[in-house]
Amino acid sequence: MGLPYSRRPRRNFSFFQLILMTVGVVLIVVSIQQLLSQGQQPPPPTLPPGVTPTMPRALTRSDVLPTPTVDHSVPPRFIVFPAAALTSRIIEAIRTEDSWETRYLGDSVGHLEGTSWFGKEIGNIVLAGHVESETGAPGPFAYLFKVNKEDLVILQEGPTSRYYRVTEIIRAEPDDIYLTEQDGGDRLTLITCTDYNYKDRRYEGRLVVIAEPLTNN
């Protein structure tokens, strides 16, 4: 009686055939790696040191620059809105000829260069942040539209915190530069964009929140 199936005869490979098979496998692996590397996106560029780009008076939603590399030699700074459990990192907004560069802020809040900072001098600390990102997602200062008087705002630098209470909420024009003046008053000024013009595709107004330090700071 025959077997239910027949075995295939074994094939003996020569040494030369084994070498060819090995080379073929290596070539296939290299080709796959090259295809994968072509599909990867290059890392986003960063602003070169010493470059101070200009800023238009009215920003558009697509006016975006890459976020600079974080300077780890200084303590990290944050702004906290306890009522909304929101925390955003604060980075420096470079001073330009007639304004400040804010296009690279992204999800961070910008401390306007040249304005005060707690622990250094008493004055007007001015922070600016986007109301929304270039994709339309809420920005770090979108919450300013929900802020009420007496709300608490906290600034942090490393282990040090300073507490403020909202005292004033106003609408302003983009060229109301007096809001950033250093007149000796100890306060916190928060600025974001408002009144988006869909025809011109730009923001035509500013929302400004002013807070004063708590007496027990």
Q: Which pLDDT score, from 0 to 100, does residue 20 have?
A: 60
Minimum mean pLDDT range among 14-23, 38-47, 76-85, 111-120: 38-47
Structure tokens at 105: 């802020």
pTM: 0.67
Give the position of tokens 């994968």. 36
Q: Which pLDDT score, from 0 to 100, does residue 28 have?
A: 59
- Region 48-72: mean pLDDT is 45
Position with higher pLDDT, 19 vs 125: 125
Report the percent of the chain where pLDDT is more than 90: 42
Residue 79, C-beta contacts closer than 8 angstroms, at least 6 positions apart: 87, 88, 90, 109, 127, 140, 153, 154, 155, 156
DSSP the chain: ---SS-PPPP-PPPHHHHHHHHHHHHHHHHHHHHHHHHTSPPPPP-PPTT------SS--TT---PPPPP-TTS--EEEEEGGGTEEEEEEEE-B-SSSB--TT-TTSEEEETTS--TTT-SSEEEEE--SB-TTS-B-TTGGGGG--TT-EEEEEETTEEEEEEEEEEEEE-TT-GGGG---S--EEEEEEEEEEETTTTEEEEEEEEEEEE-TT-
Let me know: does 193 contact 59? Beta carbons within 8 Å. yes
- Region 143-150: mean pLDDT is 94
Q: Which pLDDT score, from 0 to 100, does residue 133 have?
A: 78
Q: In 10 A of CB 185, how many CB atoms?
A: 13
As a whole number, the mean pLDDT across the chain is: 76
Number of residues that make up the chain: 217
Each residue's pLDDT tens digit, 153-194: 999 999 999 999 999 999 999 888 899 999 889 999 999 999
Domains of the chain: 77-213 (2.40.260.10)
How far apart are alpha carbons 38 and 105 in whole angstroms? 30
Residue 65, C-beta contacts closer than 8 angstroms, at least 6 positions apart: 47, 53, 101, 103, 104
Position with higher pLDDT, 32 vs 138: 138
Position with higher pLDDT, 112 vs 40: 112
